[in-house]
Structure 1
Amino acid sequence: MGRRRKGLKIDGVVLLDKPVGLSSNAALQKVRRALNAHKAGHTGTLDPLASGLLPLCFGDATKFSADLLHAEKEYETTIRFGVKTTTGDAEGEVVSEREPTFDYKTFSEVLENFRGEIEQVPPMYSALKKDGVPLYKLARKGEEIERKPRKVVISTLDVLDFNPPEATLVVRCSKGTYIRVLGEDIGEALGCGAHLKSLRRTAVGDLRNSESVTLADFEAMSEEERLKVLLLPDRLLSTLVRIDLDEAQTERFSHGGKVFVDESGPEEKVRVYGIRPDGERFLMGVGRLESNQELIPERLCAFAAE
């Protein structure tokens, strides 16, 4: 029996436009196989019924995937009012139907209550766990447990289209926001119930779906074309302050040593670039910049010590 190939050492990011019906992990594995990449990961799951931006990380980029878990997300969603389902989306069974009677003025007034910091009760159909068991598995058995409300922030809630009994919204929100719950809560506030008809993620942090590639297009590319699609790992860190080190600092930092720089923090996460003997700048990793101008390594790229 021959040894299994481990794949190639590939470092970079693919911004994938995930299709509806595919899990985030299944999408990742398809792109990973197409690249023949050894190490891969994604930056947080996107529901199978949702489409849109799914940043996929390969090699050293996986070291920074967690940074996007805390980033704001942006979605376009179409809400169907008057019909409530078990799952809060179009996949669930209908549990109630009420005729929507609101006008645009009432709709706009209700939306105002969902902007800013709000509380949400996580849905039973979610990956949250109770005693190690995902809630969605309990929900499928007809079980329901108490869930504590969580605070989330809705920074953008704009109307793209209003065509009762449906409306399409743009939502930009904090980590942990459930758009299905948002749609259901808006429906309850309007007195008719609601569920999500569709959901599409359009941004993660400052990454936009307009920069993405579809799975079909990616799989149809040549090997050379696929590699050109890869973005550099530091694309995940573009919102962080940049610190450039000199040669002596580069040497010390690459071995995990702290250095002193001209900038100061307070305890601010930064992206750190070293310099090679030929003058080329390269990403070393992420550090923490203290108020005393001390820069402490947190996560280094594998090639930082080369």
Structure 2
Amino acid sequence: MNRPVRQRQVRRALHGVLLLDKPLGWTSNDALQKAKWLLRAEKAGHTGTLDPLATGLLPLCFGAATKFSQVSLDADKAYRATLRLGQRMSTGDLEGELVDERPVDVDRAAIDAACARFTGPIEQVPPMHSAIKKDGKALYEYARAGLEVERTPRRVTIHSIDIVDWQHETLVIDVRCSKGTYIRTLAEDIGEALGCGAHLAALRRTGTGALTLADALTLEQLEAMDEAAREAHLLPPDALLTDWPSLQLDGGEAGRFLSGLRRRVQHADAPEIRVYGPEPGAFLGSAHITAGELIADRLLSPPEVQALLQTA
């Protein structure tokens, strides 16, 4: 009996950013591949890995937007974290084994003081169960072998810690922080400051730069849509750069800019700027201005600019 021939999916060029609410238990790459398949997109990437046990905002970049994914990777992040006080786990979260249990005898003043202690620029020692490499091997490889190695502390900034809820052994906090912050480590450090220990029981990313979870779709919502509705939810590539100042060029100057030529402009110097052509939605790329000179950093190709104009 002949098996039915499975048709290969025809991919297409799409340009934009999809805000996905990553489900629990999925890797970031699994979620990306599912969304990429649903949209039949040729080129896609995500902007910052979330652990399988974490949920929330995962910006996905398609086509021209992948050129600016580093902006989202470097942006500040916002999380809602649930801490289980009184228990310390081998991995700092629910994936590990219980290694220490202590009574929880704290009050609100102690919690406020502990959170304040870790607000601002701090040094964090990366957890053993992380992908940071030492001597060519990821730290989690050492951890799985039962080894603990010396790690270099990393300087991060915790912009704010707001207490959302506290019910004896359960503490829920909202955290705004710089890139590279380990919330698992923050949870453990707060637990030690309280004298009872703690681990991260749940984590949800609520923001990346100017992007928020409020506008994100779940995979179930995406699956329930037709293709046109899915595409309509794509944000333009410059959605990753909305915090930057902008500059609009006329037609001639826009063409020269796209060819990579430096241009003299009447604009204040800026380390980061988004550049547009004369038509609405004509995003051309990113640049910086030094001594009145516009210098391109990441450029869209003419076909990509044209595709965005047609979408707009």
Fold-level match, TM-score > 0.5? Answer: yes
Q: Structure 2 unaligned runs (5+)?
A: 307-312
Q: How many residues align?
A: 301
Taking every aligned residue pair, what percent have the same amino acid on both sides?
49
2:57 maps to 1:53: yes
Matched, 1:272 2:280: no
CA separation in 2, counterparts of 1:110 and 1:216? 39
More off after superposition, 123-132 vs 192-201? 123-132
* 1:132 CA drift (Å): 2.4
- Give distance in 2, aligned partners of 1:25 and 1:132: 22
| C-alpha RMSD of the superposition | 1.6
- What SS is found at the alignment partner of 2:165? strand
Provide the C-alpha distance between the structure 1 equivalents of 2:136 and 2:62, rounded to a whole number of angstroms: 29
CA distance in 1, matches of 2:298, 2:209: 20
Report the secondary structure of 1:240's partner residue.
coil
> Where does residue 299 of structure 2 map in the other structure?
300
Distance 2:132 2:10 in 1: 32
Query: Is the 2:283–2:305 contact (alpha carbons within 8 Å) kept by the matching residues of 1?
Result: no
Aligned equivalents of 2:284, 2:7: Cα separation in 1: 33
Pick from 28, 42, 53: which aligns with 1:38? 42
Q: Tell me if the contact between 1:273 and 1:281 (Cα under 8 Å) persists in the aligned partners.
A: yes
Q: Does 1:12 align with 2:11?
A: no
Matched letter for residue 273 of structure 2? V
Map of 2:267 onto structure 1: 263
Report how far residue 5 of structure 1 moved. Answer: 5.7
In the alignment, the residues of structure 1 paired with residue 226 and residue 204 of structure 2 have an alpha-carbon distance, to the nearest angstrom, of 28
Shift of 1:90: 1.2
Q: Residue 143 of structure 1: CA displacement?
A: 1.4
Matched, 1:129 2:128: no
Task: Tell me: CA distance 1:253–1:19, structure 2 relative to 1, closer, same or farther (3 Å).
Answer: same
| CA distance in structure 1 between the partners assigned to 2:194 and 2:208 by the alignment | 30
The alpha-carbon deviation at position 25 of structure 1 amounts to 0.4
Distance 2:305 2:262 in 1: 14
> Would the aligned equivalents of 1:254 and 1:305 in 2 still touch at CA under 8 Å?
no
Which string of whole-angstrom CA distances, capped at 9 and with x for unpartnered residues, describes residues 21-69 of structure 1?
0000000000000001000001110111000000000000000001111
Structure 1 residue 264, shift from structure 2 partner: 2.1
- 1:73 and 1:205 in contact (8 A); partners too: yes
Residues 214 and 2 (structure 1), Cα distance of their counterparts in 2 relative to 1, 3 Å cut: closer
Quote the residue 2:254 is aligned against. Answer: 250
Measure, in 1, the Cα distance between the counterparts of 2:236 and 2:110: 47
Alignment of 1:106-185 (within 5 A): 106-185=110-189
1:9 Cα deviation (Å)?
A: 0.3
For 1:285, the equivalent position in structure 2 comes to: 285
